[in-house]
Amino acid sequence: MKTFNIIFAGTPNFAVPTLDALIKDSSFEISAVLTQPDRPKGRGQQFHPSPIKTLAQTHHLPVLQPYTLKDEAIQQTLRTLRPDVIIVVAYGLLLPQAVLDIPPYGCINVHGSLLPRWRGAAPVQRAIEHGDKETGISIMQMEKGLDTGSVYHTKSCAITEEMTGEILMDKLAHLGAEALLEVLKTILNGQQQAIPQNNFEASYAHKLEKNEGHLNWNEEAATLARRIRAFTPWPSCTFEHQGQRIKVGKAHVVLCDPHPPGTRLSCDKNGLVIACQKDALCITEVQFPGKKMLPISSMLAHFTL
């Protein structure tokens, strides 16, 4: 049985199921793992390895952590490894054309949307935020454009009303591993053709920014409820109350007659209800600065009307 030589490039938890699946499949030999450099985290700003580095080291795989792939030195290192293909899952660094050209089968990306919808950095969160009923995974051939390459295979997933960004990311991470293994061998055996994307149907998933989560009551309650789910756990959604920034954990829409946006309609054990441009938002979980996320029933004393 032929064994294919793979370089794997990935960084966050989203990439872990795919690397784990490749490690367990004897058809593939992983000659190196590319992941972003260790980053400082937490109050102590201690340096921590990425989830992919941790998994790679557990299996004694060589790990490369360049700050850029534009340097000739790292490019030559990758050439020396003579990969058949480079598999990329949420790596986070730009692959220049010189790297894309190294493997004979190019670089194949596991992308968290049904391309051409939601090209870009935050496809999972944008799908929830915009009210999509379905998303999925695309296995695509990488090229110089951002997520513009031809698609080998897709696998769909429904977006339910309960799904947060965290839940959907986890589901798609495992779906991505399944989708890649369904077609990778046929791609490397020359038996799978990729289909070009329709650029006229493309949409762009902008990178998440920390300040996006401020809740504006002049928007519709349904829009805010989707955003709260999409931005859980990061960057999260917040509102101002008595000079404090309150983080929202859970909320849902309450149908109601029009009221001035921002009006607090009620606050009891069932939630804090605030009027929006259309309908109202019932907030059921909140977190005060430096505290834990708690049900609104535990915080009633803090929300005087």
Per-residue pLDDT at 148: 97
Higher pLDDT, 47 or 286: 286
Q: Tell me, what's the pLDDT at 40? A: 82
| 85-89/107-111 β-pairing | parallel
- What are 251's strand-pairing partners? 283
In sequence order, what are the residues at sequence separation of 6 or more whose Cβ sits closer than 8 angstroms to the Cβ of residue 166?
232, 233
Count of residues for the chain?
A: 305
Using only the alpha carbons of the chain, give its radius of gyration.
22
Mapped to the 3 state alphabet, what secondary structure does the chain carry? CCCEEEEEEECCHHHHHHHHHHHHCCCEEEEEEECCCCEEECCCCEEECCHHHHHHHHCCCCEECCCCCCCHHHHHHHHHHCCCEEEEECCCCCCCHHHHCCCCCCEEEEECCCCCCCEECCHHHHHHHCCCCEEEEEEEECCCCCCCCCEEEEEEEECCCCCCHHHHHHHHHHHHHHHHHHHHHHHHCCCCCCECCCHHHCCEECCCCHHHHECCCCCCHHHHHHHHHHCCCCCCEEEEECCEEEEEEEEEEECCCCCCCCCEEEEECCEEEEECCCCEEEEEEEECCCCCCEEHHHCHHHCCC
Q: Are 217 and 276 in contact (CB under 8 A)?
A: yes
Would you say residue 101 has pLDDT above 70? yes
137 contacts 155 by C-beta, under 8 angstroms: yes
Q: Is the pLDDT of residue 304 over 70?
A: no
Out of 10-19, 205-214, 277-286, 290-299, least confident range: 290-299
- Condensed to tens digits (0 to 9), the pLDDT of residues 174-210 reads 999 999 999 999 999 999 999 999 999 999 999 999 8
The predicted pLDDT at position 1 comes to 67
- pLDDT by residue (tens digit) across 131-145? 999 999 999 999 999
For the stretch 13-69, pLDDT in tens is: 999 999 999 999 999 999 999 999 998 877 777 889 999 999 999 999 999 999 999
Query: What is the chain's mean pLDDT, rounded?
Result: 95
Tokens of 28: 């593939």
Residue type, 29: E
Bin 59: left if φ > 0, else alpha if -120 < ψ < 50, else beta: alpha
Nearest to 11 by CA among 142, 154, 121, 113: 121
Q: What is the pLDDT of residue 299?
A: 82
Instruction: Say how far apart CA 242 and CA 304 lie, in whole Å.
Output: 10
pLDDT at 241 over 90: no
- What tokens does 222 get? 């349904």
Please state, for a pLDDT cut of 90, what percent of the chain lies above it. 90
Distance between CA atoms of 106 and 72, rounded to whole angstroms?
A: 18
Decide if pLDDT at 302 tops 80: no
63: closest CA among 127, 5, 133, 8?
8
Q: What is the pLDDT of residues 147-162, one digit of tens each?
A: 999 999 999 999 999 9
* Cα-based angle 3, 5, 185 (whole degrees, multiple of 5): 55
For residue 300, is pLDDT > 90? no
Q: What is the pTM of this model?
A: 0.94
**Pair 119, 146: CB distance under 8 Å:** yes
What is the pLDDT confidence band of residue 233, given thresholds at 50, 70 and 90? very high
* Structural domains of the chain, ranges and CATH numbers in brackets: 4-205 (3.40.50.170), 210-302 (3.10.25.10)
**Of 118, 116, 37, 32, nearest to 76 (Cα)?**
32
